[in-house]
Amino acid sequence: MAGPARTDPKRFAGLYGAIGWTLGNDPPYEVSVRKYLSLNPGVCDPDRIAGAKKAKAFLLEDLESDSNAVQEGERYRIDRDDGTQYISLTAINKSFAGSAKPEELRQTLWLATHQGHIVAKVTKKKPKTSTARDFADWYLGMDCTGFAAAFLGFSSPRSIGSYDQNPSQRRQAIKDVQPCDVLITKSDDGVYRHIAIVVSKTPQPPDAMAVFTAEATGEQMDGGWMQGVVGNKKRVLKLESAGIFVSAAKPGTEFYFYPMP
């Protein structure tokens, strides 16, 4: 996935909208995992963090007691009548930390279904279960550093500031900005705030451009919250000085563009 996906950030964001798996004779499952999730309580609803930790704990607890599950290093092999599945501990950890690749989320969702936490239909006889849609909405999600790392093929998220270690390599002008560039933001108090991947740009002469990005965000927008993975978010930026862009509407935050690592 990392190879072709790295050429199309919008398509990569779309993969989070259609994660599918099968289990036994159940109809195929498919859900969107687009909600925002970060383990940082400063930027994420504490209830979402608590829910993610709770779900991770009960999946791991059930794994330890599953007679069909055999641990093989950093993964589990689960043998069933309908086939064998491999579930990595990394996939589970990242799924509940806002940093999983689509395939890692698929593993986690399959595991929750295998364990009976996800069912095709919730009934009174199964009061502690949920539909796949509810499980994904309640417990799973992505944050900006996790999405960027997943797209760029890194094994784990990196701090936003780590992408800005060499300002001389920033894109210096509007003409230099390219698809798949990394966009990072820094507020006027010097704190790195956000990271996204450029999908495309449209110059708006004489000194501005509309930039479209793929990203995961909990940013508050007009009319409500834009939460989670989006594939075509628009910003209108203008060049303030070489390598430094600002919002054409609300100056203050600085925007930097770097070639994809």
Q: 220 or 242: whose pLDDT is higher?
A: 242
* DSSP-derived secondary structure letter, 40: -
What per-residue confidence (pLDDT) applies to 3? Answer: 46
CA distance 230 to 233: 7
Residue with tokens 């990595």: 88
Percent of the chain with pLDDT over 70: 95
What per-residue confidence (pLDDT) applies to 1? Answer: 40
CA distance 147 to 133: 20
User: What mean pLDDT comes out for the span 193-217?
Assistant: 95
Q: Evaluate whether 249 touches 259 at the Cβ level (below 8 Å).
A: no
**What number of other Cβ atoms are within 10 A of residue 84's Cβ?**
10
What per-residue confidence (pLDDT) applies to 158? Answer: 95
What per-residue confidence (pLDDT) applies to 4? Answer: 46
Q: Evaluate whether 162 touches 184 at the Cβ level (below 8 Å).
A: no
Residues in contact with 256: Cβ distance below 8 Å, sequence separation at least 6, in sequence order: 164, 167, 170, 171, 183, 184, 185, 186, 243, 244, 245
User: What mean pLDDT comes out for the span 206-223?
Assistant: 82
Phi/psi for 161 (5° steps) reads: -60, -25
